[in-house]
Amino acid sequence: MSPTRREVLLQGLLGASWVGLRAAATGLPIGLLVNPRSASAALPSGGSATKARFLVLSLSTCGSPLNANVPGCYTSPDIVHPVDPRFVASALTIGGQRHQGAAAWKQLPQKLLDRTVFFHHATMMNSHPSLPELLRLGTEIESAPVLFAAELSRQLQTVQNQPLLLGSEEVVTVGGKRLGSIRPTDLRDALLGPGSPLSQLAAVRDSTIARLQYLRKRTGDAQLGKALDAQALSQKQAQALGDRLATDLAAIQSDRADGQVLAAAVAVRLGIAPIVAIHIPFGGDNHFDSGLVQEASETHSGIGQIALLWNKLSAYGAAERSCFAHLSVFGRTLKRDGLQGRDHWPLHNAALLIGAPFRGGVIGGVVAKENDYGATAIDSRTGRGHEGGDISVADSQQSLMRTLAQGIGLPTTMLDRYLPGSKAVRSTLV
Protein backbone atom coordinates (compact mmCIF):
# COMPACT_ATOMS: atom_id res chain seq x y z
CA MET A 1 0.00 0.00 0.00
CA SER A 2 1.40 3.39 -0.98
CA PRO A 3 2.06 5.94 1.82
CA THR A 4 -0.48 8.33 0.26
CA ARG A 5 -3.26 5.76 0.12
CA ARG A 6 -2.47 4.69 3.67
CA GLU A 7 -2.73 8.25 4.95
CA VAL A 8 -6.07 8.74 3.18
CA LEU A 9 -7.43 5.54 4.68
CA LEU A 10 -6.18 6.40 8.16
CA GLN A 11 -7.77 9.85 7.95
CA GLY A 12 -11.09 8.27 6.99
CA LEU A 13 -10.90 5.49 9.56
CA LEU A 14 -9.54 7.42 12.52
CA GLY A 15 -10.65 10.98 11.84
CA ALA A 16 -8.81 14.28 11.92
CA SER A 17 -5.73 14.18 14.18
CA TRP A 18 -6.54 10.47 14.63
CA VAL A 19 -9.20 11.40 17.16
CA GLY A 20 -10.72 7.92 16.98
CA LEU A 21 -7.43 6.32 17.96
CA ARG A 22 -6.92 8.83 20.77
CA ALA A 23 -10.41 8.07 22.05
CA ALA A 24 -9.62 4.35 22.08
CA ALA A 25 -6.24 4.94 23.75
CA THR A 26 -7.70 7.06 26.53
CA GLY A 27 -11.14 5.49 26.94
CA LEU A 28 -12.65 8.97 26.56
CA PRO A 29 -15.49 9.90 24.18
CA ILE A 30 -14.62 11.62 20.92
CA GLY A 31 -16.86 14.53 21.92
CA LEU A 32 -14.69 15.23 24.95
CA LEU A 33 -11.48 15.17 22.88
CA VAL A 34 -12.91 17.45 20.21
CA ASN A 35 -14.42 19.89 22.71
CA PRO A 36 -12.91 19.32 26.16
CA ARG A 37 -14.43 22.52 27.51
CA SER A 38 -17.91 21.05 27.15
CA ALA A 39 -18.83 19.05 30.25
CA SER A 40 -21.71 17.34 28.44
CA ALA A 41 -19.29 15.97 25.85
CA ALA A 42 -17.89 13.62 28.47
CA LEU A 43 -20.86 11.33 27.96
CA PRO A 44 -22.43 10.12 24.70
CA SER A 45 -25.81 11.49 23.67
CA GLY A 46 -25.50 14.86 25.31
CA GLY A 47 -24.48 13.86 28.80
CA SER A 48 -26.78 10.91 29.49
CA ALA A 49 -26.29 7.18 29.26
CA THR A 50 -27.30 5.78 25.89
CA LYS A 51 -29.07 2.60 24.87
CA ALA A 52 -27.49 2.81 21.41
CA ARG A 53 -25.51 -0.20 20.23
CA PHE A 54 -22.96 -0.80 17.52
CA LEU A 55 -24.34 -3.12 14.85
CA VAL A 56 -22.36 -5.67 12.87
CA LEU A 57 -24.71 -6.34 9.98
CA SER A 58 -24.30 -9.34 7.69
CA LEU A 59 -26.11 -8.78 4.39
CA SER A 60 -26.78 -11.32 1.65
CA THR A 61 -27.77 -10.64 -1.94
CA CYS A 62 -27.41 -14.38 -2.56
CA GLY A 63 -30.60 -15.31 -0.77
CA SER A 64 -29.07 -17.99 1.40
CA PRO A 65 -30.73 -21.22 2.64
CA LEU A 66 -30.16 -20.26 6.28
CA ASN A 67 -33.95 -20.21 6.65
CA ALA A 68 -34.10 -23.99 6.15
CA ASN A 69 -31.81 -24.77 9.07
CA VAL A 70 -32.96 -22.56 11.95
CA PRO A 71 -35.13 -23.54 14.92
CA GLY A 72 -38.75 -23.38 13.82
CA CYS A 73 -38.01 -25.29 10.61
CA TYR A 74 -37.54 -28.65 12.28
CA THR A 75 -41.25 -29.12 12.90
CA SER A 76 -42.24 -30.95 9.70
CA PRO A 77 -40.61 -34.11 8.32
CA ASP A 78 -40.79 -32.93 4.69
CA ILE A 79 -38.65 -29.83 5.33
CA VAL A 80 -35.31 -30.94 3.92
CA HIS A 81 -31.99 -30.45 5.72
CA PRO A 82 -28.45 -31.46 4.73
CA VAL A 83 -27.63 -35.11 5.33
CA ASP A 84 -24.87 -34.18 7.74
CA PRO A 85 -24.60 -35.00 11.46
CA ARG A 86 -24.28 -31.27 12.21
CA PHE A 87 -27.80 -30.70 10.85
CA VAL A 88 -29.75 -33.44 12.53
CA ALA A 89 -32.58 -32.27 14.78
CA SER A 90 -31.14 -31.47 18.16
CA ALA A 91 -32.66 -30.14 21.39
CA LEU A 92 -31.69 -26.51 21.95
CA THR A 93 -32.50 -24.29 24.91
CA ILE A 94 -32.96 -20.68 23.81
CA GLY A 95 -33.99 -18.08 26.34
CA GLY A 96 -35.20 -20.79 28.70
CA GLN A 97 -37.43 -22.44 26.06
CA ARG A 98 -36.83 -25.80 24.38
CA HIS A 99 -36.65 -25.93 20.60
CA GLN A 100 -35.58 -28.34 17.88
CA GLY A 101 -32.83 -27.07 15.59
CA ALA A 102 -29.62 -28.02 13.82
CA ALA A 103 -26.90 -29.28 16.12
CA ALA A 104 -24.60 -26.74 14.43
CA TRP A 105 -26.17 -23.96 16.54
CA LYS A 106 -24.50 -25.46 19.62
CA GLN A 107 -21.32 -23.75 18.43
CA LEU A 108 -22.75 -20.60 20.03
CA PRO A 109 -22.11 -20.35 23.78
CA GLN A 110 -25.31 -20.78 25.78
CA LYS A 111 -25.20 -17.17 26.98
CA LEU A 112 -25.10 -16.00 23.37
CA LEU A 113 -27.77 -18.47 22.25
CA ASP A 114 -30.01 -17.03 24.96
CA ARG A 115 -29.65 -13.66 23.21
CA THR A 116 -30.27 -14.99 19.71
CA VAL A 117 -33.58 -14.34 17.96
CA PHE A 118 -34.54 -16.52 14.99
CA PHE A 119 -37.03 -14.28 13.19
CA HIS A 120 -39.22 -16.06 10.61
CA HIS A 121 -40.65 -13.64 8.06
CA ALA A 122 -41.16 -13.14 4.32
CA THR A 123 -39.45 -10.51 2.18
CA MET A 124 -41.77 -11.03 -0.82
CA MET A 125 -38.63 -10.57 -2.96
CA ASN A 126 -37.49 -13.07 -5.55
CA SER A 127 -34.47 -11.56 -7.32
CA HIS A 128 -30.89 -10.93 -6.22
CA PRO A 129 -30.77 -7.21 -7.15
CA SER A 130 -33.71 -6.46 -4.82
CA LEU A 131 -31.57 -5.96 -1.70
CA PRO A 132 -31.45 -2.13 -2.01
CA GLU A 133 -35.25 -2.11 -2.29
CA LEU A 134 -35.53 -4.37 0.74
CA LEU A 135 -33.31 -2.04 2.78
CA ARG A 136 -35.28 1.05 1.83
CA LEU A 137 -37.68 2.43 4.41
CA GLY A 138 -40.88 3.78 2.91
CA THR A 139 -40.14 6.46 0.32
CA GLU A 140 -36.66 7.28 1.67
CA ILE A 141 -33.88 7.24 -0.89
CA GLU A 142 -31.29 6.18 1.69
CA SER A 143 -30.79 2.59 2.82
CA ALA A 144 -31.91 1.71 6.33
CA PRO A 145 -28.29 1.14 7.48
CA VAL A 146 -27.43 4.70 6.37
CA LEU A 147 -30.41 6.23 8.18
CA PHE A 148 -29.76 4.15 11.28
CA ALA A 149 -26.03 4.97 11.29
CA ALA A 150 -26.63 8.73 11.16
CA GLU A 151 -28.62 8.57 14.41
CA LEU A 152 -26.41 6.00 16.14
CA SER A 153 -23.27 8.00 15.34
CA ARG A 154 -24.61 10.96 17.27
CA GLN A 155 -25.27 8.79 20.31
CA LEU A 156 -22.15 6.59 20.12
CA GLN A 157 -19.81 9.40 19.01
CA THR A 158 -18.14 7.45 16.22
CA VAL A 159 -15.60 8.76 13.72
CA GLN A 160 -17.91 8.18 10.75
CA ASN A 161 -21.65 8.76 10.56
CA GLN A 162 -22.14 6.26 7.71
CA PRO A 163 -21.89 2.47 7.69
CA LEU A 164 -18.48 0.94 7.12
CA LEU A 165 -18.59 -1.83 4.51
CA LEU A 166 -15.81 -4.32 5.12
CA GLY A 167 -15.12 -6.63 2.20
CA SER A 168 -18.82 -6.79 1.45
CA GLU A 169 -20.06 -6.30 -2.10
CA GLU A 170 -23.65 -5.89 -0.94
CA VAL A 171 -25.39 -2.73 -2.16
CA VAL A 172 -25.99 -0.02 0.44
CA THR A 173 -26.97 3.35 -1.00
CA VAL A 174 -26.28 6.85 0.27
CA GLY A 175 -27.54 9.86 -1.65
CA GLY A 176 -28.80 7.46 -4.32
CA LYS A 177 -25.27 6.16 -4.92
CA ARG A 178 -23.62 2.94 -3.88
CA LEU A 179 -21.51 3.17 -0.74
CA GLY A 180 -17.93 2.01 -1.28
CA SER A 181 -16.33 -0.79 0.70
CA ILE A 182 -12.91 -1.35 2.25
CA ARG A 183 -11.16 -4.69 2.15
CA PRO A 184 -10.21 -6.11 5.55
CA THR A 185 -6.65 -6.57 4.35
CA ASP A 186 -6.51 -2.87 3.45
CA LEU A 187 -7.71 -1.95 6.93
CA ARG A 188 -5.02 -4.25 8.33
CA ASP A 189 -2.28 -2.70 6.18
CA ALA A 190 -3.38 0.85 6.98
CA LEU A 191 -3.34 0.28 10.74
CA LEU A 192 -0.22 -1.90 10.82
CA GLY A 193 1.88 -0.08 8.23
CA PRO A 194 5.20 1.68 8.86
CA GLY A 195 5.04 3.88 11.92
CA SER A 196 1.83 2.27 13.14
CA PRO A 197 0.68 3.99 16.33
CA LEU A 198 -0.80 0.78 17.72
CA SER A 199 2.52 -0.34 19.14
CA GLN A 200 2.77 3.02 20.90
CA LEU A 201 -0.81 3.30 22.07
CA ALA A 202 0.31 3.95 25.64
CA ALA A 203 2.31 6.95 24.43
CA VAL A 204 -0.72 8.23 22.49
CA ARG A 205 -2.72 7.87 25.68
CA ASP A 206 -0.12 9.70 27.78
CA SER A 207 0.21 12.68 25.46
CA THR A 208 -3.57 13.07 25.15
CA ILE A 209 -4.17 12.82 28.89
CA ALA A 210 -1.33 15.26 29.58
CA ARG A 211 -2.90 17.84 27.28
CA LEU A 212 -6.28 17.44 28.97
CA GLN A 213 -4.75 17.62 32.46
CA TYR A 214 -3.00 20.83 31.49
CA LEU A 215 -6.30 22.25 30.24
CA ARG A 216 -8.04 21.21 33.47
CA LYS A 217 -5.45 22.99 35.62
CA ARG A 218 -5.50 26.07 33.44
CA THR A 219 -9.30 26.40 33.39
CA GLY A 220 -10.19 24.85 36.73
CA ASP A 221 -12.81 22.72 34.93
CA ALA A 222 -14.07 20.31 37.59
CA GLN A 223 -16.28 18.41 35.15
CA LEU A 224 -13.28 17.68 32.93
CA GLY A 225 -11.42 16.40 35.95
CA LYS A 226 -14.30 14.11 36.89
CA ALA A 227 -14.43 12.71 33.36
CA LEU A 228 -10.70 12.00 33.38
CA ASP A 229 -10.86 10.32 36.77
CA ALA A 230 -13.93 8.21 35.93
CA GLN A 231 -13.29 7.14 32.34
CA ALA A 232 -9.62 7.32 31.40
CA LEU A 233 -7.75 4.09 30.76
CA SER A 234 -4.51 3.42 32.58
CA GLN A 235 -1.26 3.32 30.67
CA LYS A 236 -1.15 -0.46 31.11
CA GLN A 237 -4.68 -0.85 29.77
CA ALA A 238 -3.90 1.30 26.73
CA GLN A 239 -0.82 -0.71 25.85
CA ALA A 240 -2.67 -4.00 26.30
CA LEU A 241 -5.39 -2.71 23.95
CA GLY A 242 -2.79 -1.72 21.36
CA ASP A 243 -1.20 -5.16 21.53
CA ARG A 244 -4.58 -6.91 21.19
CA LEU A 245 -5.59 -4.76 18.21
CA ALA A 246 -2.27 -5.42 16.51
CA THR A 247 -2.58 -9.17 17.09
CA ASP A 248 -6.10 -9.34 15.67
CA LEU A 249 -5.19 -7.20 12.66
CA ALA A 250 -2.16 -9.37 11.92
CA ALA A 251 -4.46 -12.42 11.98
CA ILE A 252 -6.44 -11.06 9.01
CA GLN A 253 -5.16 -13.19 6.16
CA SER A 254 -7.99 -12.81 3.64
CA ASP A 255 -10.95 -10.67 2.70
CA ARG A 256 -13.36 -13.57 3.23
CA ALA A 257 -15.74 -13.91 6.18
CA ASP A 258 -13.01 -14.73 8.70
CA GLY A 259 -11.11 -11.57 7.79
CA GLN A 260 -14.29 -9.51 7.77
CA VAL A 261 -15.23 -10.68 11.26
CA LEU A 262 -11.83 -9.80 12.72
CA ALA A 263 -11.85 -6.42 10.98
CA ALA A 264 -15.40 -5.72 12.20
CA ALA A 265 -14.41 -6.32 15.83
CA VAL A 266 -11.46 -3.96 15.46
CA ALA A 267 -13.66 -1.31 13.80
CA VAL A 268 -16.18 -1.48 16.65
CA ARG A 269 -13.49 -1.18 19.32
CA LEU A 270 -11.97 1.84 17.56
CA GLY A 271 -15.40 3.44 17.18
CA ILE A 272 -14.90 3.91 13.45
CA ALA A 273 -18.57 3.56 12.47
CA PRO A 274 -21.82 2.69 14.28
CA ILE A 275 -22.76 0.05 11.70
CA VAL A 276 -20.22 -2.31 10.14
CA ALA A 277 -21.56 -4.28 7.17
CA ILE A 278 -20.03 -7.63 6.26
CA HIS A 279 -21.09 -10.79 4.44
CA ILE A 280 -21.12 -14.15 6.20
CA PRO A 281 -22.21 -16.87 3.74
CA PHE A 282 -24.78 -19.45 4.83
CA GLY A 283 -24.99 -21.61 1.71
CA GLY A 284 -25.22 -18.93 -0.95
CA ASP A 285 -26.98 -19.20 -4.29
CA ASN A 286 -27.29 -22.98 -4.12
CA HIS A 287 -29.55 -23.94 -7.04
CA PHE A 288 -27.16 -26.74 -8.00
CA ASP A 289 -25.82 -27.69 -4.58
CA SER A 290 -26.01 -31.45 -4.98
CA GLY A 291 -26.58 -33.10 -1.63
CA LEU A 292 -26.66 -29.63 0.00
CA VAL A 293 -22.95 -30.02 0.70
CA GLN A 294 -22.16 -26.31 0.24
CA GLU A 295 -25.15 -25.39 2.39
CA ALA A 296 -23.94 -27.60 5.24
CA SER A 297 -20.35 -26.42 5.04
CA GLU A 298 -21.06 -22.68 4.83
CA THR A 299 -23.85 -22.68 7.40
CA HIS A 300 -21.72 -24.49 9.94
CA SER A 301 -18.81 -22.16 9.19
CA GLY A 302 -21.06 -19.09 9.33
CA ILE A 303 -22.31 -19.97 12.81
CA GLY A 304 -18.69 -20.39 13.82
CA GLN A 305 -17.91 -16.91 12.49
CA ILE A 306 -20.66 -15.43 14.68
CA ALA A 307 -19.10 -17.17 17.69
CA LEU A 308 -15.68 -15.80 16.71
CA LEU A 309 -17.08 -12.28 16.36
CA TRP A 310 -18.61 -12.45 19.83
CA ASN A 311 -15.43 -13.83 21.30
CA LYS A 312 -13.48 -10.87 19.91
CA LEU A 313 -16.06 -8.27 20.93
CA SER A 314 -16.09 -9.75 24.44
CA ALA A 315 -12.30 -9.58 24.64
CA TYR A 316 -12.52 -5.87 23.77
CA GLY A 317 -15.21 -5.28 26.39
CA ALA A 318 -17.59 -4.30 23.58
CA ALA A 319 -20.04 -7.22 23.49
CA GLU A 320 -22.63 -5.61 25.79
CA ARG A 321 -22.81 -2.51 23.58
CA SER A 322 -22.87 -4.38 20.27
CA CYS A 323 -25.43 -6.36 18.28
CA PHE A 324 -25.27 -8.66 15.29
CA ALA A 325 -27.91 -9.15 12.61
CA HIS A 326 -28.09 -11.21 9.44
CA LEU A 327 -30.50 -10.15 6.70
CA SER A 328 -30.99 -11.88 3.35
CA VAL A 329 -32.84 -10.63 0.28
CA PHE A 330 -34.99 -13.80 0.21
CA GLY A 331 -35.03 -17.30 1.60
CA ARG A 332 -34.86 -20.68 -0.14
CA THR A 333 -37.43 -23.39 -0.72
CA LEU A 334 -37.78 -25.67 2.27
CA LYS A 335 -38.79 -28.72 0.29
CA ARG A 336 -36.46 -29.95 -2.41
CA ASP A 337 -37.09 -31.89 -5.60
CA GLY A 338 -34.47 -34.35 -6.78
CA LEU A 339 -30.84 -34.22 -5.68
CA GLN A 340 -30.02 -30.62 -6.57
CA GLY A 341 -30.18 -27.50 -4.40
CA ARG A 342 -32.89 -25.01 -3.50
CA ASP A 343 -34.76 -22.31 -5.42
CA HIS A 344 -35.50 -18.68 -4.55
CA TRP A 345 -38.44 -18.42 -2.16
CA PRO A 346 -40.13 -15.10 -1.39
CA LEU A 347 -42.64 -16.57 1.06
CA HIS A 348 -40.24 -17.54 3.84
CA ASN A 349 -36.97 -16.25 5.21
CA ALA A 350 -35.15 -16.18 8.53
CA ALA A 351 -33.14 -13.35 10.07
CA LEU A 352 -30.83 -13.41 13.08
CA LEU A 353 -30.86 -10.74 15.78
CA ILE A 354 -28.22 -11.20 18.47
CA GLY A 355 -27.13 -9.15 21.45
CA ALA A 356 -27.89 -7.88 24.93
CA PRO A 357 -31.11 -6.01 23.97
CA PHE A 358 -32.70 -9.21 22.68
CA ARG A 359 -34.43 -12.06 24.49
CA GLY A 360 -33.54 -15.22 22.60
CA GLY A 361 -36.24 -17.31 20.98
CA VAL A 362 -38.10 -18.24 17.82
CA ILE A 363 -40.36 -15.59 16.31
CA GLY A 364 -43.08 -16.69 13.91
CA GLY A 365 -42.95 -20.02 12.17
CA VAL A 366 -43.95 -21.88 9.03
CA VAL A 367 -47.18 -23.19 7.53
CA ALA A 368 -47.86 -25.29 4.44
CA LYS A 369 -48.22 -22.96 1.47
CA GLU A 370 -48.05 -23.32 -2.34
CA ASN A 371 -46.68 -26.87 -2.23
CA ASP A 372 -43.95 -25.77 0.19
CA TYR A 373 -43.87 -23.82 3.43
CA GLY A 374 -44.29 -20.11 4.00
CA ALA A 375 -44.03 -17.76 6.96
CA THR A 376 -46.97 -17.35 9.30
CA ALA A 377 -48.44 -14.15 10.69
CA ILE A 378 -46.96 -13.13 14.06
CA ASP A 379 -48.43 -12.10 17.39
CA SER A 380 -46.60 -8.85 18.23
CA ARG A 381 -46.95 -9.42 21.96
CA THR A 382 -45.73 -13.01 22.24
CA GLY A 383 -43.85 -13.56 18.98
CA ARG A 384 -45.85 -16.73 18.38
CA GLY A 385 -46.62 -17.59 14.78
CA HIS A 386 -50.26 -18.19 13.93
CA GLU A 387 -52.64 -17.14 11.20
CA GLY A 388 -54.50 -14.77 13.52
CA GLY A 389 -51.38 -12.78 14.41
CA ASP A 390 -51.62 -8.98 14.24
CA ILE A 391 -48.42 -8.77 12.13
CA SER A 392 -49.36 -10.08 8.70
CA VAL A 393 -46.89 -11.98 6.55
CA ALA A 394 -46.79 -8.98 4.19
CA ASP A 395 -45.81 -6.73 7.12
CA SER A 396 -43.31 -9.11 8.71
CA GLN A 397 -40.26 -7.58 7.00
CA GLN A 398 -41.11 -4.13 8.37
CA SER A 399 -41.70 -5.67 11.79
CA LEU A 400 -38.26 -7.25 11.63
CA MET A 401 -36.65 -3.90 10.80
CA ARG A 402 -38.49 -2.13 13.61
CA THR A 403 -37.57 -4.82 16.14
CA LEU A 404 -33.92 -4.56 15.11
CA ALA A 405 -34.02 -0.76 15.20
CA GLN A 406 -35.53 -0.65 18.67
CA GLY A 407 -32.99 -3.18 19.89
CA ILE A 408 -30.03 -1.04 18.79
CA GLY A 409 -31.51 1.97 20.54
CA LEU A 410 -33.09 4.11 17.83
CA PRO A 411 -35.75 6.54 19.09
CA THR A 412 -39.44 5.83 18.64
CA THR A 413 -40.02 9.20 16.95
CA MET A 414 -37.56 8.26 14.22
CA LEU A 415 -39.10 4.84 13.70
CA ASP A 416 -42.61 6.25 13.55
CA ARG A 417 -41.42 8.51 10.75
CA TYR A 418 -39.61 5.87 8.71
CA LEU A 419 -41.69 2.79 9.59
CA PRO A 420 -45.21 4.15 10.15
CA GLY A 421 -47.71 1.54 11.24
CA SER A 422 -45.08 -1.13 11.82
CA LYS A 423 -44.97 -3.18 15.04
CA ALA A 424 -41.96 -4.52 16.89
CA VAL A 425 -42.23 -7.96 18.43
CA ARG A 426 -42.27 -6.97 22.08
CA SER A 427 -41.37 -10.37 23.49
CA THR A 428 -37.92 -10.19 21.88
CA LEU A 429 -36.88 -6.90 23.50
CA VAL A 430 -35.35 -6.92 26.96
- The distance of Cα 424 from the centroid of its chain, to the nearest Å, equals 18
Q: What is the pLDDT of residue 193?
A: 85
- Segment 217-262, tens digit of pLDDT: 998 888 888 889 988 999 999 999 999 999 999 999 999 999 999 9
Q: Is the pLDDT of residue 4 over 80?
A: no
**Lowest-confidence region among 128-132, 139-143, 193-197:** 193-197
Average pLDDT, the chain: 93
Q: What is the pLDDT of residue 49?
A: 59
Q: Is the pLDDT of residue 44 over 80?
A: no
Q: What is the pLDDT of residue 33?
A: 92
- Segment 355-396, tens digit of pLDDT: 999 999 999 999 999 999 999 999 999 999 999 999 999 999
Q: What is the pLDDT of residue 1?
A: 65
Q: Is the pLDDT of residue 195 over 80?
A: no
Average pLDDT of the residues in 262-288:
97
CB atoms within 10 A of CB 209: 20
In angstroms, the Cα distances linking 302 to 329, 387, 396 are 17, 32, 24
Q: What is the pLDDT of residue 43?
A: 53
Q: Is the pLDDT of residue 41 over 60?
A: no
Average pLDDT of the residues in 125-133:
95
- Segment 325-355, tens digit of pLDDT: 999 999 999 997 655 899 999 999 999 999 9
Q: What is the pLDDT of residue 168?
A: 84
- Segment 164-194, tens digit of pLDDT: 999 988 889 888 889 999 999 999 999 998 8
d(CA 80, CA 63): 17
pTM of the model: 0.95
